Amino acid sequence: MEAVITLLPGDGIGPDVTACARRVLEVIADKYDHRLVFAEQLIGGAAIDATGDPLPARTISCCEAADAVFLGAVGGPKWSDPKATLRPEQGLLQLRSILGVYANIRPIRIYDELVDASPLKAEILKGVDMLVIRELTGGIYFGKKTRDEKSASDLCTYTVHEVERIIRVAAEFAQKRRGKLCSVDKANVLETSRLWRDVTNRLMAAEFPDIEVETLLVDAAAMHLLSRPADFDVIVTENMFGDILTDEASMLVGSLGMLPSASLGDSTRGLYEPIHGSAPDIAGRNIANPCAAIASAAMLLRHSLGLEAEAMAVEDAIGGAIAAGARTVDIAADGEPCVSTTAMTDEIIRCLS
Ligand code: IPM
Ligand code: MG
């Protein structure tokens, strides 16, 4: 097959890990006889520096013309002045909105060899395999913001339509998995959450009566994620709760550097990004963990290009490299030898063949 992929390396370790994801995709293209065409564009702080805009028009048109978009990371101290009017993160939020990728899929899968990388007890981690589905283009992230000398506000809005479409995506994933859906909200306090819960209960009863539905308040969910993580199959939640709960869930796996994501809308064109940030302190030092980026590339192969066998080959290769003992510094045990970003990628590529 032929496909065009727009790469947005962004800031900090974004370029380091994007290069690794690209190498793996090139190996896959070669091995399975596909033609993948890559185009690199600017986003985030790098785009502010070069053009004065965190999401230049050229980046938007290139993403809209692509079959899939891969993003490294955005942000960093250079652009974090609270008084700054331009922020790298605006570029990413705008891009998610323009591409209409309202469903952010974040799989949390434990690698047996890495149980010691997690601060949690091994017996709690046994059997953990969940998908967190985060609503990505609504809620408090996108509501009107105000600021004056004495106060500030961020408006949180959800429409019935926005809730229905994300719940349907989550329920469809649950149908293909263990048939369990946990919807997380704060319905004891927030009106948007009461709408979310009403819509969820009505839609699930009408359209997915076979799926087991559980509802949790977000504070309780944060606790249950640590006390009984293996019970969860698919978790669905609003934008901000999903952001927070997935960083928490990364500690089940042991490192943010392991968690990929796919952001999907109504077409096959998706946006793929590791869930970690730009980690400016380790940028350019060839020590960042490329696994989250490479696993995001696997999701790109699966969800945008329909290449399931290729996606599984990449995921198996990541598992293979870990089983063979390759560890970047974030997942190495005390005193265990570490490999570089590029050496980890070499090992994953070796496991591909
Ligand atoms: C994420 C990140 C982003 C978010 C930031 C960089 C805007 O934390 O993808 O989880 O909050 O969505
Ligand atoms: Mg986040």
Query: 223: Cβ–Cβ under 8 A, 6 or more apart, which residues?
Result: none
What letters, b where the CB count within 10 A reaches 16 and e where it falls short, cover 307-320? beebbebbbebbbb
Sheet containing strand 270-272, edge to edge, reads 35-40, 2-10, 68-73, 270-272, 262-264, 103-109, 129-135, 234-237, 180-185, 212-217
pLDDT at 130: 98
- Mutation choice for ligand 1 from 154, 239, 243, CB with most ligand atoms inside 8 A: 243
Q: Is 330 a catalytic residue?
A: no
Q: Is 231 a catalytic residue?
A: no
**Residue 70, strand partner residues:** 7, 272
Phi and psi for 271 in degrees, rounded to 5? -115, 125
Locate the domains of the chain by residue range. Answer: 1-101+259-353, 119-253
Cβ(315)–Cβ(295) below 8 Å: yes
Domain 1-101+259-353 coded CATH 3.40.718.10: yes
* 353 residues of the chain, pLDDT tens digit each: 999 999 999 999 999 999 999 999 999 999 999 999 999 999 999 999 999 999 999 999 999 999 999 999 999 999 999 888 899 999 999 999 999 999 999 999 999 999 999 999 999 999 999 999 999 999 999 999 999 999 999 999 999 999 999 999 999 999 999 999 999 999 999 999 999 999 999 999 999 999 999 999 999 999 999 999 999 999 999 999 999 999 999 999 999 999 999 999 999 999 999 999 999 999 999 999 999 999 999 999 999 999 999 999 999 999 999 999 999 999 999 889 999 999 999 999 999 98
In whole angstroms, what is the distance from residue 73 CA to residue 307 CA?
25
Element (H, E) at 38: strand 35-40
Element (H, E) at 294: helix 291-303
In whole angstroms, what is the distance from residue 231 CA to residue 131 CA?
12
Q: Is 243 a catalytic residue?
A: yes
Cβ(59)–Cβ(41) below 8 Å: yes
Of 141, 158, 185, 233, which is the active-site residue?
Answer: 141
User: Which amino acid type is present at position 85?
Assistant: T
User: Which of 118, 111, 139, 91 shows the shortest CA–CA distance to 273?
Assistant: 91
In whole angstroms, what is the distance from residue 256 CA to residue 328 CA?
12
In whole angstroms, what is the distance from residue 248 CA to residue 261 CA?
15
pLDDT at 83: 85
Domains 1-101+259-353 and 119-253 share a fold: yes
Give the homologous superfamily in CATH for domain 119-253. Answer: Isopropylmalate Dehydrogenase (3.40.718.10)
Q: Give the position of tokens 């323009």.
A: 98
In whole angstroms, what is the distance from residue 27 CA to residue 187 CA?
48
pLDDT at 120: 95
In whole angstroms, what is the distance from residue 351 CA to residue 326 CA?
11
User: Which of 112, 43, 114 shows the shortest CA–CA distance to 76?
Assistant: 43
Q: Which atom of ligand 1 is nearest to the CA of 273?
A: 9
> Does the C-beta of 164 come closer than 6 Å to ligand 1?
no
In whole angstroms, what is the distance from residue 276 CA to residue 12 CA?
11
pLDDT at 225: 98
> Does the C-beta of 62 come closer than 6 Å to ligand 1?
no
Cβ(324)–Cβ(345) below 8 Å: no
Tokens of 85: 């009017």
CA–chain centroid gap for 236, Å, is 14
Query: 97: Cβ–Cβ under 8 A, 6 or more apart, which residues?
Result: 137, 142
User: Which amino acid type is present at position 272?
Assistant: Y
Q: Is 247 a catalytic residue?
A: yes
